[in-house]
Amino acid sequence: MASHRKSRPAGTRVAGIRTPALATAALTSVALLSQSANAAPEADDKPSLEEVEKKVDDLYRQAESATDKYNSAKEKTTKQRKRVDTLLDDVAKRTQKLNEAREELGSFAAAQYRTGASAPDTATFLLADTPQDYFDQTQLMDRMTGRQRVAVDDYVTQQSETMKKRQEATESLETLTETQGDLKTAKATVQRKLADARDLLSKLTAEEKARLAAIEREKQQEAARKAEELARQQAAQQKAQEEAAQQQDSGSSSAGSGSSSSTAPADSSYATKAEKALAFARAQIGKPYVWGAVGPGSYDCSGLTQAAWKAAGVTLPRTTYDQVNAGTTVSLANAQPGDLVFFYDDVTHVGIYIGNGMMIHAPKPGTYVREESIYYDGESAIHSVVRPA
């Protein structure tokens, strides 16, 4: 913030001595500066509109970052819950088989008793570490048939595998509990950041809100100018590429046509998929941003890009952190419609490029899916461009 101090007038000097009138003025100036300094803390209590705007934008970005963490934890929770359910179901089935094997072994022990072996001790059998230990202790293994030995081996295997699955289920339940804790933490963070942003905005007067809107309009105008400049650069680049291709074709028609046919299908395939993804994204314009939403009634930023490319038959990960690695990175100058544009150093926002420096994205809470310049938050906010297919 600019300082409240003003530069002191140089004044005039005679033979190096300040005149009495100027000395009086200087003393008055010192007094005024002292009053200004004392009043400064009160003035500083209220931030400028630019500071409010920056604070609100930072809170929304932090909320979006927490949203990605929420999405990641939610995805992990869903997968972990399925794994736990599968393991518990497997344990139940194995326990049933174990009980059946135990009953069969008990019948073998009774049969051995009827043939003259020592009386089987049921308690010893049930408490033995393994059936093998029990039968060794009672000298019954020597008198078992092949079928009975197979039953004992099967029981031992079933018992070992059941214990292993029970351990896996226990560990998975612990992991699930931790992930659910992460989910709750991320959700609470999102809600707190959004509440802080709303609280800041609610304290603005009507005049301040109007000035804030004017600042936003200026940013949008600057973003539009940059988008137009990028569109001109891309158009010039495309024209140069087309001219180079024509020259190559005229130089060697047979070789050129072979080269053209080998590269065209890939470009054509991507363009076709991108067209489907963009058609889907355009159909979502006007739907609200909701953190953690993947459609069809609302979206967050990565939920929209994931759904758009899914409509084109391409599966993208859920979060921006993973989507940024799900494809080929290209330069901004070479961006094509359908490419994903990522923002900020922590990769917490993404939109789908439509050409001419514009994109479709779900901006932030309180807004709707819309077309907007990729420079909406300044050129430095652009992190990278990724071609997902």
Spatial neighbors of 180 by CB under 8 A, at least 6 apart, are 73, 77
Catalytic, out of 61, 287, 349, 387: 349
Q: Are 341 and 313 in contact (CB under 8 A)?
A: no
Can 349 be counted among the known catalytic residues? yes
Buried b (16+ CB within 10 A) or exposed e, 177-205: eebbebbeebbebbeebbebbeebbeeee
Catalytic, out of 361, 364, 383, 387: 361
Q: Are 331 and 385 in contact (CB under 8 A)?
A: yes
Buried b (16+ CB within 10 A) or exposed e, 286-306: ebebbbbbbbeebbbbbbbbb
* Cis-peptide into 365, omega within 30 deg: no
Catalytic, out of 301, 308, 352, 386: 301
The span from the CA of 310 to the CA of 178, in Å, is 30
CA–centroid distance for 13 within its chain: 67
The span from the CA of 29 to the CA of 149, in Å, is 107
Spatial neighbors of 172 by CB under 8 A, at least 6 apart, are 80, 83, 84, 87
Residue 180 identity: Q
| Residues recognised as catalytic | 301, 349, 361
